[in-house]
Chains A and B, each alone.
Chain A
C-alpha cells in the first residue's frame, strides 16, 4: 500500500479503501468459511445466528440512517455489506439533531421506516432515555469480540472512535515551537493565534473543553480562555483557513482529516495527553422493518472488514488488532491514546460552565 506517499486526494484515497476492503473482505470470508467447515463452537448459538442470517437475507433490504454526514466510507461499507449478505442498503444522511427529530417524529406518527441509526454515544443516550426510540442491543458474534471499554451500558453497538487533536500551520509555526500537548495551548505566545471550534455549543470544541476540564482542571481551561481564541463552527473550512495562514493553530481538529489536506502547509499533532474522542456506533431502532438485516449489519460493522476500513482512515477501531500493516502516520492516529469523551448526563452543567468561562 502506498497511502503514506502522495496519495492525498479524495479519489485516490477512496480507491485505496476499496483495495483495503477487498483484501480484508476476502480474509474475513475465508476465515468464516473455515470456522463453519470445522464446526468450531466459535459462537455458542451458531445455529441461532444462522437463522438470523437466513431471515436477514430474506428481508433483502436495510434502511440506514446516519448522523455522520458526507463520509464516503458509509457507502463503501454498505457496498461491502451488500456483497457479503446480498442485502441492499438505503442510506439517509442528516445532521445529528435533524436525524434524531426525524426518527422521533416518524415513530410518534407510527411510521417505523428505519432499521439502524449510526450515531454517537451521546446521542444514543437521548434516543434511549428521552425518545425511547431504540430496541435493546442484540447479541451477535462480533459483539463479544470488541474491546471491553467499548461495551456500553447504552444500547449502542460501538464501531469506531473519532479522534481530535491539534493542527498547526507549518509556515507560521517553527518545528521547535510546535505545541506537543494540550497544555502547550495555554502558552501565552499563542495569544490571538488560535482558531478554535466553539466550546460553548455541542461539538468538537466542547469535547475538548469537557475532557481537558475533567483531566487537567478548571485553571487550565481558564488560562486557555485568556488566549483570545477565535471561535468557529465549521470544521473543514477552519482547517483551510488555518492552512491559508489566518491562524497558527486550529484546535481541536478531526485527526482523520489529515489525509484530505496532504499537500497543504499543515501538520496534525497527536497531543501527548491523548486524543479526546467521540464514540460512534449503531443502534437498533424500534420496530425496525428489517430486524434481522439490522442485526447482521450491527454485527458486520463490528467485524474485521469494517474495522479495517475505519482503521485505514485513522479512526480508532473497537476490535483489537486492526491496525497491523497500516502506514505509520495512519497507524499513529488510529492507535492514538484515547483521552476522554463527553458525558451526556452532565451536558447542561458543563455547557453552562463553558459559556461562563468563554464569554
Chain B
C-alpha cells in the first residue's frame, strides 16, 4: 500500500504561521470563558427571578409558618394535601383544562391556518379582531357572559324563548360548559397569536412537495404542516394546558355557583378565606401540581429530541397562500362567526353598558357619559396608566430580550446548561399566580436592607419579567426552531459578532414572533394583579390595582371603560405591528 494521506505537505513549513492578536484576545479567543461567564450571568438572573421566589415558597411549604416567623420544619403541608377530596378536585381540574385546551388548540390551529395560509377575504382585519377578547380583563368578559347567558334573564336565553315560545333556557353559563367556554375566550386568541407567525413563516414548497408526492390536502396538513409545527404546537399545548390548570377567574365566577371546585379556588380559599391564611397548604399544593406539570416539559423534550423543524431556509421562498376558491367564503364565514360569538357578543355588551348608568338597564333615561368622565377625571387612574405604561414598555422589552437569549441558547447552541436555563424559564408558569405573587413578596421583602427592590417600582418590574419569561421563551423558541443554521453562520463568517448576528439576523428574522411576544407580555403586565397588589407601593399603583379597586367598589361600568381603552390600545399596537410586517411582505 502506498497511501500517503498523512504525509505532511512539503510546503507546510515554508512560512511559519504565528499566533496573532494581543494577550487579551488570546486569553478569550476560544470564547469558552466568555461563554461561561455569560451563561453564569444568565443563570444568576433567571435564578434570582425564578428559583429564588420559588425557594421561598418551598420554604413556606416545608415550614409550619411563613418566612420571618418562628416555627419548625415539617411535612404537614404535604400531608394535608393528600386527601381523596383533593384528588377529585385535581382530576376535575385536569379534566376542565383538557376540555378547554383541546378544542382551543384545534380552533386556534384552524384560525391560524386560515389567516396565514389561505386567501380568505379580509384575513388581515380578522387577524386583529379575533384576538381582542384576550386583552380584556377576564372579570369583564365574565360579567358580560353572565349577562348574556344566565339561565334566568340572559339575553341569549330570552331570545331563545322568544323564538321558540317555550320557557326553557338554551344555555347556562354557570356550569362546566360555562367555565370552559370562558377559558376558551382567552386560550383561543392566545394560542392563535402564539402560532400564527409560525404558520406564516413556513416555506410553501415543504407543503407543495408533499402534495407532489401524492398526499391529499388533508394528509399534507396532518403529516407535514402540523409535524413541522411540532415545537410550536407542543409548546402551545403545554402553555395552554398549564394555564388551564391555574385559571382562576372563570372557575370562581362561573364554577362556584354550580359547585365546581378546581385546584386554584382551593388555593385561593386557603389563603383568603380561612381563619388564618394557610400558606403551608397553599404552597404545598402548588408544588405538588408543579411537579406533575414538569412531567409535561420532559414529555416535550422527548417529543422534540433530535428532530429538525427548520422551515425558514437560506434558499428563500415566496410565502404564497393556498387558493381556496369558493371555500374561502366558508372559512371567512367561520371567522366571522367566531368573531361574532367571542368578540361582538361580550364586548358589545361592555361597550353598550359603558354608556349607561348600569349594565343591563338600557333605557333612554339611563344614558350617560358619566363613566367616561369619571375615569378621565380620576387622577389615580392617570397615574396608574403612566406607571403601567412605563412598566409595560420596559418590562415587555426586557422580558423579550431575556426570552430571546434563553431561547437562542436552548435551541441553537450545544452549550452545557442550556436545558437548565430552559427549564428555569418554565418555572414561573407552573406556579399559580396568586401563590407566586406571595413568593415574590417574600423574596423581595426578605432581601437585605441595602438592596433597594422591595417597595420600589423595580419589584414590580422584576416580578413582571419573571412572570413573562415563560411565554417569551416559548415564543422565541418556536421561532428559532424554524430558522436554518446557515442564516446565522453566514452572518458570523461575514464578520458579524454573536451579538450583531443575534440582533440583525436572528431577532430580525424572528421579528414577527418577537413582536407578538412583546404584545402578549405587555398586556400580561397590564393585567397582572396577584403580584402587583403585593408589591406595589404608594404612588406606584398599576392599572390592574386601580381596576381592582374600582371593581371592589362596584364601579363595573368604569372598569369596562378602562377595559375598552385597553382594547383600543391593542388594536393600535397590532395594527402598527401587522402593517409593518405587511409592508415587508408586500415587497415579495
CB distance from B38 to the nearest CB of A (A): 32
Q: A95-B533, A202-B274, A232-B257 in contact; A244/B360 too (CB < 8 A)?
A: yes
| B147 at interface, CB cutoff 8 A | yes
Whether the pair A344, B553 counts as a contact (CB closer than 8 A) is no
Q: How far is the CA of A9 from the CA of B438 in the complex (A)?
A: 37
| B449 at interface, CB cutoff 8 A | yes
Whether the pair B256, A233 counts as a contact (CB closer than 8 A) is yes
Q: Which residue of A lies closest to B548 (CB)?
A: A69
Give every chain A residue within 8 A of B256 (Cβ-Cβ).
Answer: 198, 231-233
Whether the pair B68, A105 counts as a contact (CB closer than 8 A) is yes
Whether the pair B539, A101 counts as a contact (CB closer than 8 A) is no
Give every chain B residue within 8 A of A109 (Cβ-Cβ).
Answer: 68, 445-447, 449, 454
Q: A98-B533, A101-B438, A101-B441 in contact; A257/B257 too (CB < 8 A)?
A: no
Interface-central residue, B257, B545, B548, by most chain A CB under 10 Å: B257
Whether the pair A70, B449 counts as a contact (CB closer than 8 A) is no
| A104 at interface, CB cutoff 8 A | yes
Q: A9-B357, A97-B277 in contact; A236/B554 too (CB < 8 A)?
A: yes
| B413 at interface, CB cutoff 8 A | no
Q: How far is the CA of A95 from the CA of B533 in the complex (A)?
A: 9
- Out of A111, A233, A237, A344, name the residue touching B143 (CB < 8 Å): A237
User: Which range contains the number of B residues in contact with the other chain?
Assistant: 35 or more
Whether the pair A70, B549 counts as a contact (CB closer than 8 A) is yes
Q: How far is the CA of A92 from the CA of B541 in the complex (A)?
A: 9
Give every chain B residue within 8 A of A230 (Cβ-Cβ).
Answer: 174, 257
Q: How far is the CA of A11 from the CA of B271 in the complex (A)?
A: 35
| B178 at interface, CB cutoff 8 A | no
Whether the pair B553, A130 counts as a contact (CB closer than 8 A) is no
| B35 at interface, CB cutoff 8 A | no
Q: How far is the CA of A246 from the CA of B143 in the complex (A)?
A: 13
Whether the pair A234, B253 counts as a contact (CB closer than 8 A) is yes
Whether the pair B152, A201 counts as a contact (CB closer than 8 A) is no
User: Which range contains the number of A residues in contact with the other chain?
Assistant: 35 or more
CB distance from A72 to the nearest CB of B (A): 7
CB distance from A18 to the nearest CB of B (A): 14
| B455 at interface, CB cutoff 8 A | yes
| B442 at interface, CB cutoff 8 A | yes
Q: A109-B454, A237-B143 in contact; A90/B273 too (CB < 8 A)?
A: no
Give every chain B residue within 8 A of A246 (Cβ-Cβ).
Answer: 150, 152-153
CB distance from B152 to the nearest CB of A (A): 5
Q: How far is the CA of A334 from the CA of B378 in the complex (A)?
A: 28
Binary interface profile of B, 134-147, with partner A (CB < 8 Å = 1, else 0)?
Answer: 00000000010011
Instruction: List residues of B (239-278) whose CB comes within 8 Å of A's CBs.
Output: 252-253, 256-257, 269, 271-277
Whether the pair B272, A236 counts as a contact (CB closer than 8 A) is no
Q: Which residue of A lies closest to B252 (CB)?
A: A233
Give every chain A residue within 8 A of B575 (Cβ-Cβ).
Answer: none
Q: How far is the CA of A97 from the CA of B441 in the complex (A)?
A: 13
| A108 at interface, CB cutoff 8 A | yes
- Out of B272, B366, B445, B551, name the residue touching A111 (CB < 8 Å): B445
Q: A11-B374, A70-B550, A111-B445 in contact; A348/B275 too (CB < 8 A)?
A: yes
Q: How far is the CA of A244 from the CA of B454 in the complex (A)?
A: 44
| B205 at interface, CB cutoff 8 A | no
| B212 at interface, CB cutoff 8 A | no
Give every chain A residue within 8 A of B68 (Cβ-Cβ).
Answer: 104-105, 107-109
- Out of B66, B146, B548, B554, name the residue touching A239 (CB < 8 Å): B554
| A240 at interface, CB cutoff 8 A | yes
Whether the pair B275, A240 counts as a contact (CB closer than 8 A) is no
Q: How far is the CA of A355 from the CA of B272 in the complex (A)?
A: 16
Instruction: List residues of A (98-122) whose CB comes within 8 Å of B's CBs.
Output: 98, 100-102, 104-111, 113
| A93 at interface, CB cutoff 8 A | yes
Q: How far is the CA of A89 from the CA of B277 in the complex (A)?
A: 29
Give every chain A residue within 8 A of B252 (Cβ-Cβ).
Answer: 233
| A347 at interface, CB cutoff 8 A | yes
Q: How far is the CA of A351 from the CA of B278 in the complex (A)?
A: 14
| A247 at interface, CB cutoff 8 A | yes
Whether the pair A247, B152 counts as a contact (CB closer than 8 A) is yes
CB distance from A100 to the nearest CB of B (A): 8
Instruction: List residues of B (97-117) whose CB comes within 8 Å of A's CBs.
Output: none
Q: A108-B69, A126-B276, A231-B257 in contact; A257/B533 too (CB < 8 A)?
A: no
Instruction: List residues of B (165-185) whose CB comes within 8 Å of A's CBs.
Output: 174
| A327 at interface, CB cutoff 8 A | no
| A243 at interface, CB cutoff 8 A | yes
Knowing that A240-B359, A243-B360 touch, tell me 8 more A-B residue pairs with CB under 8 angstroms: A11-B374, A70-B550, A70-B551, A101-B277, A105-B446, A109-B445, A237-B556, A263-B361
Residues of chain B having any CB pair with chain A under 8 Å: 66-69, 143, 146-147, 150, 152-153, 174, 252-253, 256-257, 269, 271-277, 357-361, 366, 370, 373-374, 438, 441-442, 445-447, 449, 454-455, 533-534, 536-539, 545, 548-556
Residues of chain A having any CB pair with chain B under 8 Å: 9-11, 63, 69-72, 90-98, 100-102, 104-111, 113, 126, 130-131, 198, 200-203, 230-237, 239-241, 243-247, 257, 260-261, 263-264, 344, 347-348, 351
Q: List 10 A-B contacts (CB under 8 A).
A: A10-B374, A90-B538, A98-B533, A100-B277, A102-B534, A105-B67, A109-B449, A202-B275, A246-B153, A260-B554
